[in-house]
């Protein structure tokens, strides 16, 4: 059957295609067309033969089906511990079968794979820590998503998200002009309270190039202002690029690997153009993973590193507090029970567990910080990672997934949750809206600004 207008195997590459697909509210026609989408088995098997690396092949073959990965998976725990939610079963029944059948699968099978890949795994990589063979189903599900995307089996919102990246070089429709104007606007909004504050654009040879999440200029421009305030108080020589400022990658969630490369090359080009000493990314987990951890390999960089040292915002914030660039007024420290959400993407997958706790030691009065159980690299996903937050088709499953984090938070007894990651922040917000457990949640930036000991020369002068 011919491909549909909305659901097809071709990426969205134009504004017209984006507007048309967005006009299909909720993806109703998109999913109807998906029911009639043919699987190109020859192309699928060819892609597997060309792209499946020895590691993935080995993992599929050495899995002992022991089930030790089951309890490591929060989705297994919150879904009645049914066998269909065991990580090894999930990957063997999808990618494993696809390989065994040499790509000769049908529409029904591919739709089952799509549901499994996007509603039964957030690619948090926790299972890989507990497998005796070190098999990481999260990595394999990321690979499976790419195969599904190439055949047109991808959730509607993520097809659009990847299209946004291709058209606007951002996960949302924020143009270069929109971005620069937002920076100018935020600088103007804050200059009265913070005299001399600037948001420099395209400044060459700065110490820091700052990148962010497109949701910030689109929906939370105050986050950009907050980053500027902290850089200003710390006396940093910094800049943002006019192009290459968007660090996130919904294309990674979608499995659009070609677009993943384009995204990160755009950011790296900005680094090469502006020559900063280092780059710093915002409070976002998957943005860091896409740009710093996975990105160098997508871009084909032989050293496996970005063009300049690239650190997460929590690393800079801890450094600024440690070195005294930012000072906290002890009287303003948090004096209520508070807990911390560990982001899978930069805690479990890059080991920044101690950095966030160093920040906590500066901003929370001793005795008030309560760890979740488990925590650090053993913590559970927020419940909405890997694109799960944004997929309407699987909203019911996502809300069930939030129950694990809900219980973890309730067990701490805390009413304030620090969540230095956009996906975690969103999931915890949705958790409160869905279950009404009476909590508040926050990024680090506004908390730190509220307790700064600001040098006299940076304060507004009395008229």
Give the model confidence (pLDDT) of 432-441 as tens digits.
999 999 999 9
Residue 9, domain member (yes or no):
no
**pLDDT confidence of 3, banded at 50, 70, 90?**
confident
pLDDT at 129: 93
Q: How many domains does the chain have?
A: 3
Residue 148, domain member (yes or no):
yes
pLDDT at 2: 56
Closest CA relative to residue 130, chosen from 436, 354, 353, 374: 374
> Same domain, yes or no, for 201 and 93?
no
Residue 216, domain member (yes or no):
yes
pLDDT > 70: percent of the chain: 99
Token digits for 175?
Answer: 């143009």
**Alpha-carbon separation of residue 395 from 45, 76, 86, 158 (angstroms):** 32, 17, 21, 14
Residue 203, domain member (yes or no):
yes
pLDDT > 90: percent of the chain: 96
pLDDT at 461: 83
> Same domain, yes or no, for 94 and 141?
yes
> Same domain, yes or no, for 192 and 316?
yes
> Same domain, yes or no, for 228 and 181?
yes
pLDDT higher than 60, residue 45: yes
* Residue ending a domain, choose from 323, 358, 373: 323
Mean pLDDT of 193-214: 97
Q: pLDDT tens digits, residue range 369-390?
A: 999 999 999 999 999 999 999 9
pLDDT higher than 60, residue 1: no
pTM of the model: 0.96
pLDDT higher than 80, residue 283: yes
> Same domain, yes or no, for 250 and 297?
yes
Residue 319, domain member (yes or no):
yes
> Same domain, yes or no, for 343 and 258?
no
Residue 407, domain member (yes or no):
yes
> Same domain, yes or no, for 310 and 358?
no
* Residue ending a domain, choose from 120, 153, 186: 153
Residue 126, domain member (yes or no):
yes
> Same domain, yes or no, for 209 and 104?
no
Residue 351, domain member (yes or no):
yes
What range does the domain containing 259 cover?
A: 165-323
């Amino acid at each position: 059957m011919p491909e549909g207008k909305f659901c097809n195997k071709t990426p969205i590459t134009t504004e017209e295609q984006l507007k048309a697909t967005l006009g299909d509210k909720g993806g109703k026609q998109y999913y109807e067309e998906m029911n009639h989408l043919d699987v190109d088995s020859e192309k699928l098997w060819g892609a597997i033969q060309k792209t499946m690396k020895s590691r993935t092949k080995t993992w599929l073959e050495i899995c002992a089906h022991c089930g030790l990965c089951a309890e490591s998976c929060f989705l297994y725990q919150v879904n009645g511990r049914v066998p269909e939610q065991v990580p090894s079963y999930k990957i063997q029944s999808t990618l494993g079968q696809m390989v065994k059948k040499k790509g000769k699968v049908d529409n029904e099978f591919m739709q089952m794979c799509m549901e499994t890949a996007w509603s039964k795994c957030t690619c948090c990589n926790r299972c890989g820590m507990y497998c005796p063979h070190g098999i990481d189903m999260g990595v394999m599900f990321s690979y499976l998503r790419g195969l599904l995307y190439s055949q047109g089996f991808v959730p509607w919102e993520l097809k659009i998200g990847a299209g946004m990246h291709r058209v606007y070089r951002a996960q949302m429709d924020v143009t270069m002009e929109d971005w620069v104007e937002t920076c100018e606007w935020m600088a103007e909004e804050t200059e009265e309270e913070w005299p001399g504050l600037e948001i420099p654009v395209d400044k060459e040879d700065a110490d820091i190039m700052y990148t962010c999440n497109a949701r910030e200029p689109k929906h939370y421009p105050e986050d950009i202002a907050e980053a500027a305030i902290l850089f200003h108080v710390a006396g940093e020589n910094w800049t943002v690029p006019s192009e290459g400022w968007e660090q996130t990658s919904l294309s990674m969630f979608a499995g659009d690997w070609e677009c993943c490369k384009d995204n990160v090359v755009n950011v790296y080009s900005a680094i090469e153009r502006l020559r900063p000493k280092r780059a710093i990314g915002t409070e976002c987990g998957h943005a860091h993973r896409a740009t710093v951890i996975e990105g160098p390999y997508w871009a084909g960089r032989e050293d496996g590193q970005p063009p300049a040292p690239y650190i997460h915002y929590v690393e800079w914030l801890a450094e600024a507090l440690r070195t005294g660039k930012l000072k906290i007024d002890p009287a303003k420290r948090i004096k209520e029970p508070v807990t911390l959400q560990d982001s899978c993407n930069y805690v479990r997958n890059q080991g920044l567990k101690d950095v966030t706790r160093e920040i906590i030691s500066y901003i929370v009065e001793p005795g008030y910080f309560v760890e979740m159980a488990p925590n650090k690299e053993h913590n559970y996903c927020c419940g909405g990672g890997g694109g799960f937050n944004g997929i309407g088709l699987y909203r019911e499953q996502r809300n069930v997934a939030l129950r694990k984090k809900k219980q973890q938070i309730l067990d701490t007894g805390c009413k304030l949750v620090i969540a230095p990651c956009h996906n975690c922040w969103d999931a915890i917000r949705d958790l409160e809206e869905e279950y009404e457990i009476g909590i508040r949640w926050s990024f680090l930036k506004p908390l730190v600004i509220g307790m700064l000991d600001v040098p006299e020369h940076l304060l507004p002068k009395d008229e």
